[in-house]
Structure formats: C-alpha cells, structure tokens
C-alpha cells in the first residue's frame, strides 16, 4: 500500500517529466495533430462531464458518467494521454506515456478505492459491484469549477499549443 500511495502522490510531478520527454520526442504532422487533439478533446470532455457530477469527500457519486464507469476522470485522462501520443507520433513516447499512465493511474485508483472503502464501506462496496442505486443529479458547471477541472483544461490547451509549435517550427 505504501508504494501505491507514494506513486499516487508523485503522479503530477512525474507527469510533467513524462510530458517534457514526450514533447522532446514528438514529431507531429498536421494529420497526427488533428487526430490526436480530437481524441484528447474527447478525453477532456469526459473529465468535464465527470467533474460536473462529482461531490468529492461527500459521497459515492453515482450520477453522470459514474453510472457507467467507476473512474471516469482517470478514463478521461487516459484518453487525453492517448490523444497526445497520437498527435506526437513517436513510438518511444507512446511506450513512455503508456507506462506512466498505467502505473500512476492504477496507483491513484487503488488509493482512492481504499479511501472510499474506509469512508463509505457499504455504499462503496455496493457501487463497486454494480448494485448501488443510481443518483438522479444534473451536471453543474459550479461543480466543474469547484473540482478545479480548469487545471486539466489548461494542461490540454498548453500541451496542444506546444505540440502545434513543435509541428510548425521543428
């Protein structure tokens, strides 16, 4: 558990290092850039949808994408990573990003699930096995802001801009 906890906490700084190396290896073309950014945009849309339903540290959320997937924020992040790999068009970068995402997201999910299990034992157990009653909650932009999804959106824009500059001037 300690290893997963440590890895989960290092997720963001490791992400910056991984992104820098992936950017350095990138060789985007107009076609790969357009396809990859489309995939990454879908990933960010999933994250925004999830953030608009999530009530962190208050409950086991069961509305919106949480009706379909236990970890939609991480699924969206994985889609964004895939999109940036497609945009960057480099095999070594793809291996690096896949390794980073698979280890850090699994660590984060394990830590999150352990926290939810201890805090909401019966509710989370029912949710995990698909027996929890879905919630009827509308999407809320205020929740998106409260959950600070603007940080992931800024990252999407920043990485997209860097890849575009790399494509134009490399």
Is the pLDDT at 49 greater than 90? The verdict is yes
Rounded mean pLDDT of the chain?
93
pLDDT above 70 coverage of the chain, percent: 99
Q: What is the pTM of this model?
A: 0.92
d(CA 72, CA 79): 10
d(CA 44, CA 69): 15
114 within 8 A of 47, measured Cβ to Cβ: no
Confidence band (pLDDT; 50, 70, 90) for 1?
Answer: low
Is the pLDDT at 96 greater than 90? The verdict is yes
Domain boundaries, the chain: 2-169
């Amino acid at each position: 558990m300690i290893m997963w906890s440590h890895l989960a906490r290092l997720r963001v700084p490791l992400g910056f290092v991984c992104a820098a190396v992936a950017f350095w290896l990138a060789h985007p073309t107009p076609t790969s850039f357009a396809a990859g950014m489309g995939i990454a945009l879908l990933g960010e849309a999933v994250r925004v949808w999830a953030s608009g339903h999530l009530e962190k540290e208050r409950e086991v959320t069961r509305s919106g994408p949480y009706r379909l997937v236990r970890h939609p924020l991480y699924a969206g992040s994985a889609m964004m990573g895939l999109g940036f790999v497609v945009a960057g068009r480099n095999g070594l970068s793809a291996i690096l990003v896949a390794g980073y995402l698979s280890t850090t997201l699994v660590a984060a999910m394990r830590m999150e699930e352990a926290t939810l299990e201890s805090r909401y034992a019966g509710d989370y157990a029912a949710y995990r096995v698909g027996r929890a009653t879905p919630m009827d909650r509308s999407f809320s932009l205020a929740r998106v802001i409260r959950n600070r999804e603007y940080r992931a959106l800024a990252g999407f824009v920043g990485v997209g801009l860097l890849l575009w500059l790399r494509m134009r001037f490399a």
